[in-house]
Amino acid sequence: MRQPRQPLQTSVKLHSAQAQFHHCQARYRGFVGGRGAGKSWIGAYDMIKRAMSPEGRGRLYLVAAPTYPMLSDSSIRTTVEICRMLGVYNHDSLKRQPPSLLLPNNSEILFRSADDPERLRGPNLSGVWLDEASLMSHEAYTVAIATLRERGQAGWLSATFTPKGLGHWTYDTFATGKPDTALIRAQTKANPFLDAGFITALEAQYSDRTALQELSGEFVDSEGAEWPAEHFGPHIWWNGSWPQLQCKVIAVDPSKGREAKQGDFSSIVMLGRTMDGALYVDSDMVRVNTEVLVDMILERQREFNADLVVIEANQFQELIAVQLMERARGRGMAIPCRPIVNVVNKLVRIRRLGPYLSQRLFRFRDTPHNKIIVEQMRDFPTASHDDGPDALEMALRCMIELHNGRQGKMVTRLVT
């Protein structure tokens, strides 16, 4: 096997934001910047330097990108380029699949795609770099930080990304002052290694809003979003136990129907209404098979004891309601279940949430699952997915009917 060269004494120039990021000691670090601000470069450099440090000897690290093509075309290439520059590149170690890189001090860097966050589970790691983190799901971040426990010691995570709006999980995670978390910002023009003509050309093509996001690295509201940012302020979150509820509904969107998109979640939304009209929400946003989904619905009903459980039954999804009732019978449970066929366009349905948002009636339990729903609502109708808001609207629609005293006409109760 070809032996790696001994590390070189190389002088590396970092611009001020890159240097601040590299020397930051926070456990969770974000580097947000415009296009060409040197995000991926500093992410790779920071990873290699930490892995090659005396403390990093013999430890395991992970680099993740949103998709495998992005991992291969950008993250791996940049990492290899910097390894070569520093004299620590071992060509032979990249031949295995999935790829990893063995460094001269026996530390190892794994390269993985985050398109299915569940696949990031498994190894205990000392450090993680999420490249283009704003194109990943929040689940990728939550899974990754739970792996930072190699040899019983807490590790670190860095994320480099272009901002995707005030409703995105990267804003909530890195820009809201959470403990042991830091965010370093860099505008495109802050990178002295870029050709000035590149920046001028982009400025001429971008709108003001796009320039703020893509060049200045600012978190801005999504262009074309249905509802303003003030609908999603701190008032929208709650913690602790459920309050005293007057009416309770569980709505399930299996996200396997005609309007479903690849990568959609299956959504289980629990909605409760208090006497003063406030609407409390908790949820499970998951990607699981039908067997697991049915078990989760039964468990949520056991805990929540909803007055009604509704399941979207468009196309073959009606079979899930049948399976749910059969399994409930086998467990001796009585479950008030009703399948619903949605015939109104999904965008029209979700827009019905608007008046309740503007009146600040929604309260979401502060969990990663509910943050996915709120993120989808903030970016609606431009968000990649809308399965959470769709299930929430279905729950709200059925709750209104219950509240108006029509539940006797709509509930089919399974009696064992």
Domain ranges of the chain: 16-214, 229-413
The rounded distance, in Å, linking the Cα atoms of 282 and 268 is 9
Q: What band does 188 get if pLDDT is binned at 50, 70 and 90?
A: confident
Percent of the chain as helix, strand, coil, to the nearest 5: 40, 20, 40
Question: For position 122, what pLDDT does the model report?
Answer: 82
Helix axis angle, 76-86 to 39-51, nearest 10°:
50
R_g of the chain computed on alpha carbons: 24
Percentage of the chain lying above the pLDDT 70 cut: 85
Residues 327-356: what's their mean pLDDT? 91
Residues 155-172: what's their mean pLDDT? 88
- How does pLDDT run across 48-106, given as a tens digit for each residue? 999 999 999 999 999 999 999 999 999 999 999 999 999 988 777 676 778 899 999 99
The rounded distance, in Å, linking the Cα atoms of 144 and 125 is 9
Among 101-105, 119-123, 360-364, which stretch is predicted with the lowest mean pLDDT?
119-123
Lookup: tokens for 301? 């009903």
Q: Is it the case that residue 190 has pLDDT exceeding 80? A: no
**29 or 118: whose pLDDT is higher?**
29
Q: Is it the case that residue 10 has pLDDT exceeding 70? A: no
Question: For position 242, what pLDDT does the model report?
Answer: 97
**63 or 320: whose pLDDT is higher?**
63
Q: What band does 258 get if pLDDT is binned at 50, 70 and 90?
A: very low
Q: Is it the case that residue 215 has pLDDT exceeding 90? A: no
Angle at the Cα of 14 from the Cα atoms of 11 and 19, rounded to 5 degrees: 115
229-413 has the same fold as 16-214: no
Among 219-228, 363-372, 397-406, which stretch is predicted with the lowest mean pLDDT?
219-228
Q: Is it the case that residue 183 has pLDDT exceeding 70? A: yes
Torsion sign, CA atoms 284, 290, 291, 294: positive
CATH of 229-413, one of 3.30.420.240, 3.40.190.10, 3.50.50.60, 3.40.50.300: 3.30.420.240
Question: How many other C-beta atoms can be found within 10 angstroms of the C-beta atom of residue 405?
Answer: 8
Q: Is it the case that residue 265 has pLDDT exceeding 90? A: no
The rounded distance, in Å, linking the Cα atoms of 306 and 59 is 48
- Stated pTM of the model: 0.62
Cis peptide before 7 (omega within 30 of 0): no
The class that CATH gives domain 16-214 is alpha beta
Among 150-154, 155-159, 338-342, which stretch is predicted with the lowest mean pLDDT?
338-342
Among 8-12, 79-83, 329-333, which stretch is predicted with the lowest mean pLDDT?
8-12
